[in-house]
Amino acid sequence: MPAKEDMQFRTQSHVQAPNGAQANTETPTRPQADSASASRPASPPAPEPHRDVIALDDVTLRYPAGDGEVVALAGFDLRVAEGERVAIVGPSGCGKSTLLSLTAGLLAPQAGVVTVRGQVALMPQRDLLVPWRSALRNAALALEAQGVPAREATERARPLFERFGLSGFEGSRTWQLSGGMRQRVAFLRTMLTGRPVLALDEPFGALDAITRGEMHEWLEVALAGEPRTLLLVTHDIEEALTLADRVVLMTPRPGRAAGELAVDRPAGSTRAEWTTSAEFSMLKAAALETLR
């Protein structure tokens, strides 16, 4: 599901964001030129700083529960740069899915600031394909939801089926597709939104180990052809170390960042080569130690 574009901005004066969360608007100020500086030749513009697409600053979120409340996240900080792939790993109930909902603009924190530059496409844990539509028309739903006529949406989705390994299954119903194929259709639908940020919530958690490994390889190829900023939530450390540039490890509830690992996978290495390497084993051991 898409979030509001530039959902919150870091600003000097506070305003109310469309989703009710606190937001800011920033207007750059320009120093007034004096007579001496006016005669100097213009300096070349400074290079733009590395741009964070997602920023969570000291975020706390609570849910009502019975007569009390559950603190899902407490003082959580996160940065995701443009084009980066970040995986969030932690135990069940630590606030991983809550984190994605905040990023997608579905929730607002009670404390802290969530800043998202650009629009977010959220792919939930379940594929949410509708059984009365074909695979092709399920994928086209993303465009139809944006107001694209059904016929045009279908024709725009059709050429991507071959690239996503679904050629020949355009007319298949959901019950005729394997679990991996259903996830490909769901991912294709997410990509068709055109959003620059993908938020994936345990997209392969329901698949068996063999199919999950195949989907990891497939997703890497898909993202190579359609680059996006990726925020992936998973409970699978191997999945995180395979798909991400950086892995953020979370504590049990209330969720906080317990540490992070930089993943320097050798260019051109296959999944099998990477997951059996000494470096991969060291990273996995470090992650397990942090999560213990």
Over residues 197-230, the pLDDT tens digits come to 999 998 877 777 887 888 888 888 888 888 889 9
* Residue 79 forms part of a structural domain: yes
Q: Domain span at residue 154?
A: 128-194
Apex 79 CA angle, 291 and 70, nearest 5: 55
Work out the average pLDDT over 32-51. Answer: 45
Indicate if 172 and 201 belong to the same structural domain. Answer: no
Which pLDDT belongs to residue 102? 92
Q: Which two tokens stand for residue 160?
A: 């991507």
In this predicted structure, the answer to whether residue 47 has a pLDDT above a threshold of 50 is no
* Residue 235 forms part of a structural domain: yes
Indicate if 185 and 206 belong to the same structural domain. Answer: no
Work out the average pLDDT over 254-275. Answer: 90
Q: What distance in Å separates the CA atoms of residue 34 and residue 9, rounded to the nearest whole number?
A: 31
**Domain tally for the chain?**
2
Asked if 239 contacts 212 with a C-beta cutoff of 8 angstroms, the reply is: yes
* Residue 201 forms part of a structural domain: yes
Work out the average pLDDT over 19-36. Answer: 37
Indicate if 170 and 251 belong to the same structural domain. Answer: no
Is pLDDT larger for residue 62 or for residue 44?
Answer: 62
pLDDT digits (tens, 9 = 90+) for 130-184: 999 999 999 999 899 989 999 999 999 999 898 888 899 999 999 999 888 898 8
Q: Say which range, 15-29, 70-84, 158-172, 222-236, has the weakest mean pLDDT.
A: 15-29
Indicate if 108 and 134 belong to the same structural domain. Answer: no
In this predicted structure, the answer to whether residue 35 has a pLDDT above a threshold of 60 is no
Is pLDDT larger for residue 216 or for residue 32?
Answer: 216
The mean pLDDT value of the chain amounts to 81
Work out the average pLDDT over 108-123. Answer: 90
Which pLDDT belongs to residue 134? 95
The structure's pTM equals 0.76
| Residues above pLDDT 90, as percent of the chain | 41
Indicate if 114 and 17 belong to the same structural domain. Answer: yes
Indicate if 170 and 219 belong to the same structural domain. Answer: no
Asked if 208 contacts 181 with a C-beta cutoff of 8 angstroms, the reply is: no
102-140 in b/e form (b: 16+ CB < 10 A) is: bbbbebbbeebbbbbbbbbbbbbeebebeeeebbbbbbb
* Residue 273 forms part of a structural domain: no
* Residue 289 forms part of a structural domain: no
Indicate if 247 and 109 belong to the same structural domain. Answer: yes
Residue 75 sits in a domain whose CATH number is 3.40.50.300
- Which of 149, 166, 194 terminates a domain? The answer is 194
| Residues above pLDDT 70, as percent of the chain | 83
pLDDT-derived band at 50, boundaries 50, 70, 90: low
